[in-house]
Amino acid sequence: MKQSTLLKLATQSIAKNKMRTMLTMLGIVIGVGAVIIMVAIGNGAQTAVQKQISSLGTNLIIVMPGNFQQGGVSQGQGAVSRLTIDDADRMKRDATLLAGVSPVVQTRTQVIASGTNWRTSIQGVSTDFPTIRDWTMSSGDFFTEADIRSSRKVAVVGARIVQNLFNGGDPVGSEIQIGKVPFTIVGVLAEKGQNAGGMDQDDVVLVPYTTAQSRLSGNVRIGQIVASTAAAADIPAAQEEIATIMRESHKLDGAPDDFTVRNQTEIAAAATSTTRVMSALLAAIASISLLVGGIGIMNIMLVSVTERTREIGIRLAIGARGSDVLTQFLVESIVMSVLGGLVGLTVGVGGAMLVAKLTGWTVATPLSALALAVGFSAAVGVFFGFYPARKAAALNPIQALRYE
């Protein structure tokens, strides 16, 4: 039997019972739509996380304190800080693969301006910090090496500080009090938004690290050192170079490292692993709807075989082969599944767009997911339609003609 004839017969058979066909396809529609929506949300979450990770900086490398043994027990990352400004200076002087190095002296305190106060993060950094974090200025300028050498009381503020303390106006040249120390604002950072950990990167005040140590934190030890390479391919070698410099600086002589060196790729992998697992879990749950839809198709096809037993008998009696009958019913099952898949595809894409509009989430629907959803719906039609089709093909023509 010709393929065009098979498709025509399948379409005619489906059209005879429109309501039953629609209800049968509903399971496939819901299944495909749910899978596409879940995949879109999952991919969107991964895209958002990767975007947030990239906002941390270009080819970022972070040196953190900790990761050493004490009394036979690993103290873990960040346990006790032995990082100093000298470590950062040595890295900047001796490393050959680093494009920038900055110590980070961190504290959190109250800032006051224009009669308004706000508790925020204060970071003492070097002039390499904007390059490392790929952070541009929206107004004013970053502080200079001269400011660092002189421990001047100058500050660069984030967009959140401008919004909360200066009502969105340009604060360059204004005075801000950090703790009990007055600072002059020399620049405003461009807006970055939240990072992968959900922290607002714009809620920050940057000052020279020398000023932060002498006037704000009072600590000799520093929280971390950030660095960057000129090219992403240099990151692994740069990490090894940093580790060698740090071991020499801390005179470890074969002892376990008392620091941890992490790169942007490792941070991104850790941050996206959870979203990847959740995406797979959501898609798996949504796929159950496809299974239910497939069972519905098999049920209706079995009913159809019973209703059309005499028709099948006539076809077999006038010379149709069992394979022709099997193919006919199988094509009907596939047509219903594919039609349901196409409608489900439309529902899924529309649903994903609606979710994005209502929640503000990032959604991303790859073309591969659309093709896979429709292909999987066709596979469901083949799998669940084969048994009813095989049962129809195995009917005895004489018994089928006698069926009432």
Domain range list for the chain: 3-52+270-402, 83-249
Give me the mean pLDDT over the 65-92 stretch.
67
**Res. 274 pLDDT band, cuts 50 70 90:** low
pLDDT at position 162 = 93
For tokens 């900086």, name the residue.
57
Percent of the chain with pLDDT over 90: 29
- Give this prediction's pTM: 0.60
pLDDT > 70: percent of the chain? 84
Nearest CA to 76 out of 258, 286, 321 is that of 258
Q: Please compute the mean of the pLDDT values over residues 106-113 and round it to a whole number.
A: 92
Mean pLDDT, the chain, whole residue set: 82
Return d(Cα 274, Cα 36) in angstroms, integer. 19
Q: pLDDT tens digit string along 176-190?
A: 999 889 999 999 999
Confidence of residue 4 (pLDDT cuts 50, 70, 90): low
